[in-house]
Amino acid sequence: MSQDIVKFQICKMKKLTQKEEEIMNRFWETGPMFIKELKEFYSDQKLHYNTLSTIVRGLEEKGYIGHEQFGNTYRYFAAITEEEYRKGALGNVVKKYFNNSYKNVVSLFVEDEKLSLDELKKLIADIENNKTD
């Protein structure tokens, strides 16, 4: 699959709830898991096996998770990388709140003094150096 198609699909993916994002982080950190293995991370919480299974199936419907069948059970895995998710989430924020302009995002950081001019100059230099590598 080409990178442009992947980027398009990630931008079109549905937003995750806090719990869904937490579960995705478990998959990114741990790798493929059965629901019973995922449940071990929530042993201190009253999160029922069926609830976790429903959330994971929802993530699969949204395109974030895939599965492999082992007999009559499934082992689930992250269908996208954490980096792909971050880029898609950032792209959605930029599109929704900054008129699809990364320049507007950077301008906001500079105006709010979250990014100094020296840091901005260094960032530009780093970008230019990476383009020539």
pLDDT band at 117 (very low <50, low <70, confident <90, very high): confident
Task: For residues 13 and 57, state if they share a domain.
Answer: yes
Distance, CA of 111 to CA of 62 (rounded, Å) = 37
Mean pLDDT for the stretch of residues 61-70? 95
List, for residues 70-112, the tens digit of each pLDDT value: 999 999 999 999 999 988 888 888 888 888 888 888 888 888 8
CATH value at residue 32: 1.10.10.10
115 with 57, same domain: the answer is no
Q: Are residues 61 and 123 in the same domain?
A: no
State both tokens at 34: 């059965």
Q: Is residue 83 a part of any domain in this protein?
A: no
Per-residue model confidence (pLDDT) at position 11? 47
Residues 63 and 104 in one domain: no
Q: Give CA–CA dist 127/84, Å, rounded.
A: 20
* 7 and 72, same domain (yes or no): yes
Within a domain: 93: no
Segments forming the whole domain that contains residue 127: 100-133
- End-to-end Cα distance, the chain: 26
What pTM, to 2 d.p., does this model score? 0.72
Q: Are 58 and 13 in contact (CB under 8 A)?
A: no
Same domain assignment for residues 24 and 58: yes
Q: Is residue 85 part of a domain?
A: no
Rounded to the nearest integer, the mean pLDDT of the chain is 85
In a domain, residue 95? The reply is: no
The rounded distance, in Å, linking the Cα atoms of 1 and 7 is 10
Give the contacts of 95 (CB within 8 A, at least 6 positions apart): 11
Is the residue at 14 inside a domain? yes
pLDDT of 82 reads 93
